[in-house]
């Protein structure tokens, strides 16, 4: 079954290409997928086979793809695939040829069909939720198909917000159900429901909130008519046949376990009847035949929820029959509306006239489907409605509930309205109206009417196949005890209460239609006088409130001032860890064991660092501040050496040097002094903040170091570093193997930073042209070529010659440092930085041209190559039977030369090396060469 869902999603992925190839006929190919699924499912559902499938996904969370084709999901899955196939077929003629948005629509629509199928087949609550929200999101995209219209945007957003809200409530309920029952499988939860404690009841109620919102019941009903902004196939499928049935599906699945909760039936029955009546009344007032159907759908969904929630054997069967009937007739009617819309160019029943003669087939389909909707024999809607009435009649006998008659009365009122708006629809869409000029229509392909005619025929055939359908649908009833009467779906039961009620509703409904003007006037007179609570207005009020709160909150929190944000962090740091620190020192009994210094040399170095740092703060010259900060960096490197961290010291020295030059490259353009600052209170605040943070951090360092009682975990790294990582330098093995994911992430950061630097300098220049990062012109390859770019007074021949002589040796040395890193201090970072410094010296000697001569490659290429190398090196071990980023050690015999001991993480280190060189190149080309270019341009401009 997962294959079916996957096939839909694959088809969705292929849809854009298909549309490009076949234009709107691509829908015919796409329709094959649900059609094939239908063909696969049909024999299994008819035979009543229980098919289950389980695919392990995240077992730790109880999240496995458990699919189940059962008694309830069987008929639902047939509807989803069958109607889906026909609607997709219909799309092949609905859209205009060459529609530019079709590639997206076709993909989203097909994916929706797959998600919907997944929803009705899922047995695992979380998988159900995932598919549920997938349908929500895809429906959002489909409703907002034409985002340029404001009404569409709002309708899509409303549908999304309302159904997502419900979906989240449902998720909470499902999680509770999973935890209390101990199983995430719906079938198991329903088979052995957890005791109905308050918690469980809340969970069930939350799940029902999801169902009610998805199925557009009062008070969430307003999103559905709005969603009619979608193209008509979407309305026919999502908002009639499939998605809105999801809530009813959930109710039907949960009913066997929870229908006996005291509040279940009364609540859902009330909601259902209120929705049914409100929807019916609104439908009676619509001019737009599509909106009329939309309100009709709201009404019918109320009806369906009511019957699905009853939870007796006969109601379960009748409910399922009604779901099938509704899907068939409502999709037919929507598709007919689509044809009218495309043929006559309007859906306003005040402009439509005489169509029954012009569109005979759609008219016939609409009459059959309308009869089914109104419950007129011999169509399936009549059969199903009879069954519903019969099962409600037995409500008292089956459950002991005393309000069966009230429910019956509500249904009768709703059904009268249904008959009336059905009549209004058929009359409005097709009748020849005396006061309306007959419509001109555009002739459409006869294939366009195939889908609605087939669906209408299905309604008719089903009407005569009651007994056969009874055997299929009654399996869903087996979860309940046998009721007072055995239900049978058939056209003729003899004269009984349901038949009499049906006749009454038909007569009264037609009467209501005939007196429509008076009825409408009365309705308006009432709503104008009585201020009704309007769900939609309340919803907008809530949305507006949320918007206001968010503006207030953003205004308070997001001040847009860097010092403000940092200040907040500092205050929190001083208050929380700071207060705990004071407490720890106060409570401390043993006293701190403090040494002045482990190594005497430290005292001097620290004094140097402290002096330099303080001087850097006081400095008013930019350059001086930077040099002083470099000094603290070198001092830190020396402290690393003394502590036993040669790798760290090496990297620190290299980075500090590179950074120092980079600073200078930028500072040559900035004013030499920091802007004049008055000696204000602000400054003292900053200093106080600095001192506070410094004290807190120093205290924390003291406390954490003094509290250590265990041996550092790093001590354990030595053995695996050698045996698994194949290297003796534990720090390097940690970087390229033990914590290689970290390093991979870091490489990405470097790539982003380097690209950011380049874009800030090159791509956003005020001259509109894009400057390439590729060096211009390769020039002569002559060694020790004369430098023309540098003016004579700046040249130093000795510097030039020495640099060029040494450059290649340094590059070789950097590769050496990278390669030995596995066993000695060094590695990709150090090697890359050495190579970067070599390039930097070349740049300092001869500017851009010299740098391009030294590295005639695009920095972006080097960065990408490095990242790709590192990633591939991470994947390589999987080919050798290991995990991602695991080192594999390969010993390659080299004959008389001995053996090459090759560790795959060397390739990872090569990636690191390349990324660092790429960063260096980008920095030099941008902050070096790029700024040079700007200077030259400015000079030129001044010269002109």
How many Å apart are CA 456 and CA 360, to the nearest integer? 14
Pair 163, 243: CB distance under 8 Å: no
99 near another protein, judged by CB under 8 A: yes
154 near another protein, judged by CB under 8 A: yes
55 near another protein, judged by CB under 8 A: no
932 near another protein, judged by CB under 8 A: no
> Which residue stretches of 668-680 are H helix?
none
How many Å apart are CA 543 and CA 793, to the nearest integer? 70
Part of the chain binding another protein (CB under 8 A), chosen from 153-161, 264-272, 855-863, 896-904: 153-161
Pick from 48, 117, 123, 49: nearest CA to 83: 117
Give one word for 68, left, alpha or beta, with left for phi > 0 and alpha for psi -120 to 50.
beta
698 near another protein, judged by CB under 8 A: yes
429 near another protein, judged by CB under 8 A: no
How many Å apart are CA 245 and CA 75, to the nearest integer? 12
User: What DSSP character marks residue 227?
Assistant: G
Pair 160, 226: CB distance under 8 Å: no
709 near another protein, judged by CB under 8 A: yes
Q: Map the footprint of another protein across residues 9-38, applying CB under 8 A.
A: none
504 near another protein, judged by CB under 8 A: no
Interface with another protein (CB under 8 A), residue total 175
435 near another protein, judged by CB under 8 A: no
Q: Based on CB atoms, which residue is closest to another protein, 43 or 555?
A: 555
Part of the chain binding another protein (CB under 8 A), chosen from 113-121, 125-133, 465-473, 671-679: 671-679
How many Å apart are CA 903 and CA 732, to the nearest integer? 13
Q: Binding string, 629-648, against another protein, x = CB under 8 A? A: x--xx-xx--xx-xxxxxxx
Q: Based on CB atoms, which residue is closest to another protein, 305 or 743?
A: 743
287 near another protein, judged by CB under 8 A: yes
Part of the chain binding another protein (CB under 8 A), chosen from 267-275, 352-360, 502-510, 608-616: 608-616
Pair 407, 392: CB distance under 8 Å: yes
Which residue carries 């060029």 as its tokens?
804
User: What DSSP character marks residue 348?
Assistant: B
Q: Which residues contact 424 (CB under 8 A, 6 or more apart)?
A: 283, 284, 292, 349, 513, 516
- Strands 63-69 and 889-893, sheet pairing: unpaired
Part of the chain binding another protein (CB under 8 A), chosen from 42-50, 277-285, 430-438, 463-471: 277-285
Furthest-apart CA atoms within the chain: distance in Å:
116
Q: How far is the CB of 768 from another protein (least distance, A)?
A: 15
How many Å apart are CA 617 and CA 611, to the nearest integer? 10
Pick from 129, 215, 118, 140: nearest CA to 172: 129
Q: Based on CB atoms, which residue is closest to another protein, 497 or 705?
A: 705
Q: What are phi and psi of 122, to 5 degrees?
A: -75, 140
| Candidate residues 2, 6, 149, 935; the one interacting with another protein per rule CB under 8 A | 149
Q: Based on CB atoms, which residue is closest to another protein, 903 or 927?
A: 927
Q: Map the footprint of another protein across residues 560-599, applying CB under 8 A.
A: 560-563, 566-567, 570, 592-599
Q: Binding string, 340-379, against another protein, x = CB under 8 A? A: -xx--xxxx-------------------------------
Q: Based on CB atoms, which residue is closest to another protein, 165 or 403?
A: 165
How many Å apart are CA 343 and CA 236, to the nearest integer? 18
| Candidate residues 666, 857, 889, 902; the one interacting with another protein per rule CB under 8 A | 666
Q: Based on CB atoms, which residue is closest to another protein, 463 or 827?
A: 827
How many Å apart are CA 543 and CA 346, to the nearest integer? 33
713 near another protein, judged by CB under 8 A: yes
Q: Based on CB atoms, which residue is closest to another protein, 146 or 201?
A: 146
Q: Based on CB atoms, which residue is closest to another protein, 157 or 491?
A: 157
Q: For the chain, how big is the Rg over CA atoms in Å?
A: 38
How many Å apart are CA 657 and CA 663, to the nearest integer? 10
446 near another protein, judged by CB under 8 A: no
Part of the chain binding another protein (CB under 8 A), chosen from 76-84, 233-241, 386-394, 879-887: 233-241
User: What DSSP character marks residue 64?
Assistant: E
End-to-end CA gap in the chain? 75
Q: Based on CB atoms, which residue is closest to another protein, 659 or 815?
A: 659
269 near another protein, judged by CB under 8 A: no
Q: How far is the CB of 809 from another protein (least distance, A)?
A: 24
Pick from 479, 500, 498: nearest CA to 488: 498
Q: How far is the CB of 467 from another protein (least distance, A)?
A: 40
How many Å apart are CA 30 and CA 264, to the nearest integer? 41
Give the relative orientation of helices 380-393 and 313-344 as an angle to the nearest 10 degrees. 150
Q: Based on CB atoms, which residue is closest to another protein, 90 or 303?
A: 90
Q: Is the dihedral of CA 493, 498, 503, 509 positive or negative?
A: negative
Q: Which two tokens stand for residue 639?
A: 């402290």
Q: Is 221 exposed, middle or buried (0-12, 13-18, 19+ CB in 10 A)?
A: buried
Part of the chain binding another protein (CB under 8 A), chosen from 57-65, 443-451, 706-714, 885-893: 706-714
Q: Please report, for residues 216, 638, 653, 656, the alpha-carbon distance to residue 611 in angstroms, rounded to integers and kept in the order given.
A: 71, 16, 19, 18
525 near another protein, judged by CB under 8 A: yes
| Candidate residues 402, 555, 678, 883; the one interacting with another protein per rule CB under 8 A | 555
Q: Based on CB atoms, which residue is closest to another protein, 535 or 606?
A: 606
Q: Binding string, 191-230, against another protein, x = CB under 8 A? A: -------------------------------------xxx
Q: Based on CB atoms, which residue is closest to another protein, 406 or 580?
A: 580
767 near another protein, judged by CB under 8 A: no
Pair 855, 940: CB distance under 8 Å: no
> How many residues comprise the chain?
944
What three-state secondary structure class fits 688? helix
| Candidate residues 625, 787, 859, 914; the one interacting with another protein per rule CB under 8 A | 625
Q: Is the dihedral of CA 659, 660, 662, 666 positive or negative?
A: positive
Q: Based on CB atoms, which residue is closest to another protein, 402 or 600?
A: 600
712 near another protein, judged by CB under 8 A: yes
Q: Which two tokens stand for residue 735?
A: 């970087």
Q: How far is the CB of 773 from another protein (least distance, A)?
A: 14
Q: Based on CB atoms, which residue is closest to another protein, 50 or 151?
A: 151
Q: Based on CB atoms, which residue is closest to another protein, 739 or 795?
A: 739
Q: Please report, for residues 505, 514, 518, 519, 637, the alpha-carbon distance to residue 511 in angstroms, rounded to integers and kept in the order given.
A: 10, 5, 11, 10, 95
What three-state secondary structure class fits 376? coil
Q: Map the footprint of another protein across residues 782-841, applying CB under 8 A.
A: 823-825, 829
910 near another protein, judged by CB under 8 A: no
Q: Based on CB atoms, which residue is closest to another protein, 491 or 642?
A: 642
| Candidate residues 300, 391, 662, 814; the one interacting with another protein per rule CB under 8 A | 662
Q: Based on CB atoms, which residue is closest to another protein, 105 or 303?
A: 105
| Candidate residues 47, 150, 894, 940; the one interacting with another protein per rule CB under 8 A | 150
Q: Map the footprint of another protein across residues 869-888, applying CB under 8 A.
A: none
| Candidate residues 498, 923, 925, 928; the one interacting with another protein per rule CB under 8 A | 923
Q: Map the footprint of another protein across residues 715-744, applying CB under 8 A.
A: 715, 717-718, 721-722, 728-731, 734-735, 738-739, 742-743
Q: Which residues contact 638 (CB under 8 A, 6 or more apart)?
A: 601, 605, 649
528 near another protein, judged by CB under 8 A: yes
User: What DSSP character marks residue 437?
Assistant: P
């Amino acid at each position: 079954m997962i294959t079916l869902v996957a096939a839909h999603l694959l088809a969705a992925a292929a849809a854009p290409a298909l549309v490009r190839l076949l234009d709107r006929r691509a829908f015919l190919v796409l329709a094959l997928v649900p059609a094939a699924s239908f063909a696969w499912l049909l024999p299994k559902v008819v035979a009543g086979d229980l098919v289950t499938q389980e695919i392990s996904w995240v077992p730790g969370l109880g999240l496995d793809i458990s699919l189940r084709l059962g008694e309830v999901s069987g008929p639902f899955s047939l509807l989803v695939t069958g109607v889906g196939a026909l609607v997709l077929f219909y799309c092949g003629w609905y859209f205009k040829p060459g529609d530019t948005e079709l590639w997206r629509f076709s993909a989203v629509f097909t994916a929706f069909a797959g998600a919907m199928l997944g929803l009705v087949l899922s047995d695992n609550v979380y998988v159900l939720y995932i598919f549920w929200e997938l349908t929500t999101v895809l429906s959002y995209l489909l409703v907002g198909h034409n985002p340029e219209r404001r009404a569409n945007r709002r309708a899509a957003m409303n549908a999304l917000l309302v159904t997502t809200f419900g979906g989240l409530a449902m998720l909470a309920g499902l999680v509770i159900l999973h935890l209390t029952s101990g199983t995430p499988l719906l079938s198991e939860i329903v088979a052995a429901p957890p005791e109905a404690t308050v918690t469980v009841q809340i969970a069930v109620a939350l799940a029902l909130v999801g169902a009610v919102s998805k199925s557009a019941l009062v008070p969430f009903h307003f999103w559905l008519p709005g969603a009619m902004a979608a193209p008509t196939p979407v309305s026919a499928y999502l908002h009639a046949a499939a998605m809105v049935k999801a809530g009813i599906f959930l109710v039907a699945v949960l009913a066997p376990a929870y229908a006996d909760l005291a509040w279940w039936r009364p609540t859902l029955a009330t909601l259902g009847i209120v929705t049914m009546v409100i929807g019916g009344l609104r439908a009676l007032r619509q001019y737009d035949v599509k909106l009329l159907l939309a309100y009709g759908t709201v009404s019918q969904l109320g009806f369906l929820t009511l019957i699905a929630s009853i939870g007796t054997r006969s109601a379960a069967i009748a409910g399922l029959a009604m779901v099938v009937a509704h899907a068939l007739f409502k999709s037919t009617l929507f598709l007919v509306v689509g044809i009218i819309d495309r043929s006559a160019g309007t859906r306003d029943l005040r402009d439509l006239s005489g169509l029954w003669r012009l569109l005979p087939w759609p008219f016939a389909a609409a009459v059959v489907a309308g009869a089914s909707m109104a419950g007129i024999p011999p169509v399936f809607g009549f059969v199903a409605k009879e069954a519903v009435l019969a099962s409600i009649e037995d409500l008292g006998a089956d459950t002991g509930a005393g309000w069966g008659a009230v429910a019956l009365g509500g249904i009768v009122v709703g059904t009268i309205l249904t008959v009336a708006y059905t009549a209004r629809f058929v009359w409005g869409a097709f009748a020849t109206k005396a006061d309306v000029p007959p419509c001109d229509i555009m002739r459409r392909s006869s294939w366009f009417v195939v889908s609605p005619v087939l669906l209408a025929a299905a309604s008719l055939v089903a009407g005569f196949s009651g007994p056969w359908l009874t055997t299929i649908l009654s399996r869903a009833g087996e979860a309940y005890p046998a009721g007072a009467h055995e239900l049978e779906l058939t056209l003729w039961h003899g004269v009984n209460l349901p038949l009499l009620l049906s006749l009454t509703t038909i007569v009264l409904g037609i009467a209501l239609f005939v007196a429509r003007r008076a009825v409408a006037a009365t309705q308006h007179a009432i709503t104008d006088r009585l201020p009704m609570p309007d769900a939609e207005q309340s919803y907008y009020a809530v949305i507006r409130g949320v918007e206001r709160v968010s503006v207030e909150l953003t205004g308070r929190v997001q001040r847009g001032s860097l010092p403000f944000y940092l200040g907040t962090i500092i205050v929190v740091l001083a208050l929380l860890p700071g207060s705990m620190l004071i407490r720890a020192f106060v409570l401390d009994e043993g006293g701190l064991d403090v040494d002045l210094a482990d190594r005497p040399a430290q005292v001097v170095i620290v004094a140097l660092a402290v002096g330099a740092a303080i001087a850097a703060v006081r400095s008013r010259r930019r350059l001086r501040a930077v040099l002083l900060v470099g000094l603290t960096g070198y001092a830190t490197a020396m402290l690393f050496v003394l502590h036993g961290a040669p790798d760290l010291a090496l990297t620190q020295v290299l980075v500090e040097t590179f950074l120092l030059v980079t600073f200078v490259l930028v500072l040559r353009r900035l004013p030499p002094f920091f802007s004049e600052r008055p000696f204000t209170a602000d400054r003292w605040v900053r200093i106080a903040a600095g001192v506070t943070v410094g004290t807190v951090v120093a205290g924390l360092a003291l406390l954490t170091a003094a509290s250590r009682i265990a041996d550092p975990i790093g001590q354990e790294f030595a053995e695996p570093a050698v045996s698994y990582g194949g290297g003796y330098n534990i720090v390097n093995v940690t970087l390229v193997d033990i914590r290689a994911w970290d390093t991979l992430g870091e490489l990405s950061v470097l790539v982003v930073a380097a690209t950011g630097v380049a874009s800030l300098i090159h791509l956003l220049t005020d001259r509109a042209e894009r400057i390439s990062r590729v060096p211009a012109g390769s020039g002569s390859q002559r060694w020790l070529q004369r430098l023309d770019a540098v003016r004579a007074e700046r040249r130093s021949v000795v510097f030039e010659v020495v640099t060029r002589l040494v450059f290649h040796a340094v590059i070789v040395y950097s590769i050496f440092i990278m390669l030995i890193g596995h066993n000695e201090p060094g590695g990709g970072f150090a090697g890359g930085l050495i190579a970067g410094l070599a390039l930097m010296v070349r740049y300092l000697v001869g500017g851009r041209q010299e740098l391009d001569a030294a590295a005639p490659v695009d920095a972006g290429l080097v960065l990408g190559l490095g990242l790709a190398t590192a990633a591939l090196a991470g994947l390589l071990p999987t080919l050798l039977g290991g995990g991602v980023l695991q080192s594999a050690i390969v010993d390659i015999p080299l004959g008389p030369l001995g053996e090459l001991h090759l560790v795959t993480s060397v390739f990872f280190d090569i990636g690191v090396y390349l990324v660092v060189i790429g960063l260096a190149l980008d920095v030099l080309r941008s902050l070096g060469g790029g700024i040079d270019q700007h200077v030259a341009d400015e000079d030129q401009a001044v010269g002109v």
